[in-house]
Amino acid sequence: MRTYSGHSNAKKSNELYRTNLAKGQTGLSIAFDLPTQTGYDADHELARGEVGKVGVSVAHKGDMHTLLDGIPLGEMNTSMTINATAMWLLSLYIATGDENGVDQAELSGTTQNDILKEYLSRGTYNNVPKWNPINICSYHLQEAGATPVQEIAYAMSNAIAVLDAVRDRGEVPEDEFHKVFGRISFFVNAGIRFIEEHAKLRAMGRIWDELGRDRYGVTDEKMRRFRYGVQVNSLGLTESQPENNLQRIVLEALAVTIGRDARARALQLPAWNEALGLPRPWDQQWALRIQQVLAFETDLLDYPDIFEGSKVMDGLVDELVQGAKAEMAVVEEHGGAVNAVPYMKAALVESNSRRLGRIESGEQIVVGQNKFASTEESPLTADAEGGIMTIDPEVERELIDEVRKWRSERDQAAVDEALAALADAARDDSINLMPLSIAAAKAGATTGEWSATLRDVFGEYRAPTGIGDAAVTVDDVVLAGLRERVEQVSDQLGRRIKILIGKPGLDGHSNGSEQISVRARDCGMDVVYDGIRLTPAQIANSAVQEGVHVVGLSILSGSHMELIPNVIEALREAGVDVPVVCGGIIPEADAPKLIEAGVARVYTPKDFELNRIMGDIIDLVAAKAGATAVA
């Protein structure tokens, strides 16, 4: 039982963890801020506005010591939701444990990690045997719009890609391969259709067992057990009438706990107000209490598997298994998960676009959003902050000062030497980077320095966006009016309406911007999709070079008040005089301030009608063109 938490600096988060443990939490799920997750120190340009926001900033071993101060590491099951910098944060964790006299063999937990082959085949599984280095994360698949069949199929295909790669590298002896298989865990999502969601998990268990036995020859049944942790769906949480999210979360929690044969090993629940902004400690406590009620008050855990022998459940599982296997075969045809990334990505964008289309048309009911939308004033969001936590902007300044101070006070020569050794090792495929990372951690290197060292060697891979292949999913009739408007205005401009869509800041949640991109294309616009993690200067440069008529920005990290005005300023400096619209997890209260800063339209999560947004965009471009023509 744990809640995903952390904010501001190490000291404040440490206080939070201690309080949570005192409240009955049994593990840690560390939320890092976006700069830490993506490998930048607080004083990097890209980190601006994001420091300490969605999690804690951990720049070096000093921070890790503070973060874990007084917490018995040997007894903790720790989850780190982190990809790119997983190896580094695990190194800091181990270094901290070492310096506190905790043996590596005692540490247990999970890092969500994507640098797959590196990790598994270089023997990490032997050094920290209780750590699950790889977590096949299908959570984000559902957040990206996956149907249950897609979620199963893509998660399994990813796992196959990892396992095949490790096997083919031949560095793991055959008789130890079952250990690698057994250390793979999954991180899945659970949605509101909780019966089918439960069937999904049973289906995953069945396929995983078969894969282990048939494809990888794992004979030990225990090693073939499907192990997974859960974060329930935040995609379905709404901003309107947010109190309804609580019952959604409870039902989703049931999906992953109701049948013993497919019960989650670790569960974390979001707070009811996630769609509004950052949850406060009280909101997180409420999320923890849900789990405690389920576990200690109900009889949920008293029985063996309650679906044993259920024809309906078995039928549902059979159906999902069949569907998933068919989809896995398609991925295989595309050359396996690695080569099929563009295919899978396009399929997900399509599913999500279909889902949004159903909500828009009212075919899929979302209570409080597209149906039963009238509401009494909510006392939960009545306070000045709107029922969320706001981080003092001062935190960022303090952390910038702190990391600079850290760098000036450490033994620079030792750090340089450790990073040079890391760089050398990274160029050599056969060397395990883990011990060198631990050495760098002990020498006092920072998160940004470790990442920069590896970025220099490996370069930066820009993943395919996949959206170009997404099919039209909305009825032509519905779009006809918008298309006609686009043609008219384009004719007036002499060029087709061209829109730039991009995400400033560090958050990687690209669903919103992808959906806007796909719909804008379906309305007839030329859409330049600029991708994620962009600096204001990059966005301005793209707007100039592409000659766009309008700019759309998406931001979900809560840093819009810092970043959006920066982008507007950069556009002005670059001489781009076009309307800017923005959307994301933006509290209602911030909208007027953004408009004042020069944004033409602000869209919050309650604006689910994409066609209305498209209409606005066309009007804005037309108004601008009209004004220019008159001038």
Partner 1 sequence: MNANPPDPAELGRRLAARDRTAAPAALNVIEQTGERHAADVAALLAEVAPEKLGGDAPGMIVGVTGPPGAGKSTLLSELVAKWRERGKSVAVLAIDPSSKRSGGSLLGDRARIRVEPGDTDVLIRSTATATRLGGLAPATREAALAMAAAFDVVIVETVGVGQSETDIAELADSVVVIVQPASGDVLQFIKSGVMEIPDLLVVTKSDLGAPATRAARELMGTVKTLGSHTPVLLVSSLPPSTGVDELIDTVESHHASLDLPASRAEARRAAALDAFVHEHGERGLRAVGGRRAAQRLLAEPSPTPGLPRLVELLQDAAGY
Q: Is 158 helix (H, G, I), strand (E, B) or coil?
A: helix
Q: Is 544 in the site for partner 1 (CB under 8 A)?
A: yes
User: Considering only 16-24, 199-207, 356-364, 572-580, which stretch makes contact with partner 1 by CB under 8 A?
Assistant: 572-580
418 versus 518: smaller Cβ distance to partner 1: 518
Taking every pair of C-alpha atoms in the chain, what is the biggest distance, in angstroms? 78
Residue 4 bears catalytic tag: yes
Candidate list 53, 498, 509, 549, residue with the active-site label = 509
Q: How far apart are CA 497 and CA 526, in angstroms?
A: 6
User: Considering only 186-194, 318-326, 409-417, 461-469, which stretch makes contact with partner 1 by CB under 8 A?
Assistant: 461-469
- DSSP 8-state assignment for residue 300: T
402 versus 522: smaller Cβ distance to partner 1: 522
Could you tell me the end-to-end alpha-carbon distance of the chain, in angstroms, rounded to an integer? 64
CB of 617 to partner 1, least distance (A): 12
Write out the H or E segment, with its range, that includes residue 229: strand 228-232
Can you read off the two tokens belonging to residue 323?
A: 């569907």
Q: Which residues of 337-359 are buried (b: 16+ CB within 10 A; e: fewer)?
A: beebbbbbbbbbbbbbbbbbbeb
Q: How far apart are CA 594 and CA 607, in angstroms?
A: 16
Q: Is 331 in the site for partner 1 (CB under 8 A)?
A: no
Q: Is 589 in the site for partner 1 (CB under 8 A)?
A: no
Place of tokens 């396996």: 336
Amino acid (one-letter) located at 363: E
CB of 507 to partner 1, least distance (A): 15
Total residues contacting partner 1 by CB under 8 A comes to 61
- What are the CA-CA distances from residue 132 to residues 31, 95, 107, 116, 183 (Å)? 17, 18, 11, 12, 5
Q: How far apart are CA 36 and CA 52, in angstroms?
A: 9
Q: Is 476 in the site for partner 1 (CB under 8 A)?
A: yes
Write out the H or E segment, with its range, that includes residue 131: strand 131-132
Q: Is 542 in the site for partner 1 (CB under 8 A)?
A: yes
Among 496, 590, 608, 616, binds partner 1 (CB under 8 A): 496
Place of tokens 């766009």: 548
Q: Is 598 in the site for partner 1 (CB under 8 A)?
A: no
Q: How far apart are CA 225 and CA 220, in angstroms?
A: 9
Residue 140 bears catalytic tag: yes
Number of residues that this document lists for the chain: 631
Q: Is 477 in the site for partner 1 (CB under 8 A)?
A: no
110 versus 542: smaller Cβ distance to partner 1: 542
Residue 503 bears catalytic tag: yes
Residue 334 bears catalytic tag: no
Can you read off the two tokens belonging to residue 85?
A: 């910098």
Residue 139 bears catalytic tag: yes
Q: Is 391 helix (H, G, I), strand (E, B) or coil?
A: coil
CB of 609 to partner 1, least distance (A): 18
CB of 62 to partner 1, least distance (A): 32
DSSP string, 539-570: HHHHHHHHT-SEEEEEE-SS-HHHHHHHHHHH
182 versus 466: smaller Cβ distance to partner 1: 466
Q: Is 1 helix (H, G, I), strand (E, B) or coil?
A: coil
Q: How far apart are CA 89 and CA 111, in angstroms?
A: 9
Among 520, 564, 613, 620, binds partner 1 (CB under 8 A): 520
Candidate list 507, 529, 530, 603, residue with the active-site label = 507
Q: Is 537 in the site for partner 1 (CB under 8 A)?
A: yes
Among 173, 304, 379, 575, binds partner 1 (CB under 8 A): 575
54 versus 501: smaller Cβ distance to partner 1: 501
Q: Is 525 in the site for partner 1 (CB under 8 A)?
A: yes
Among 127, 538, 604, 611, binds partner 1 (CB under 8 A): 538
Can you read off the two tokens belonging to residue 164?
A: 């095949």
Candidate list 53, 60, 140, 549, residue with the active-site label = 140
Q: Is 552 in the site for partner 1 (CB under 8 A)?
A: no
339 versus 412: smaller Cβ distance to partner 1: 339
Q: Which residues are catalytic?
A: 4, 139-140, 503, 507, 509
Q: Which residues form the interface with partner 1 (CB under 8 A)?
A: 335, 339, 342, 457-470, 472, 476, 479, 483, 486-487, 491, 494-496, 517-518, 520-532, 535, 537-538, 540-542, 544-547, 549, 575-578, 624, 627-628, 631
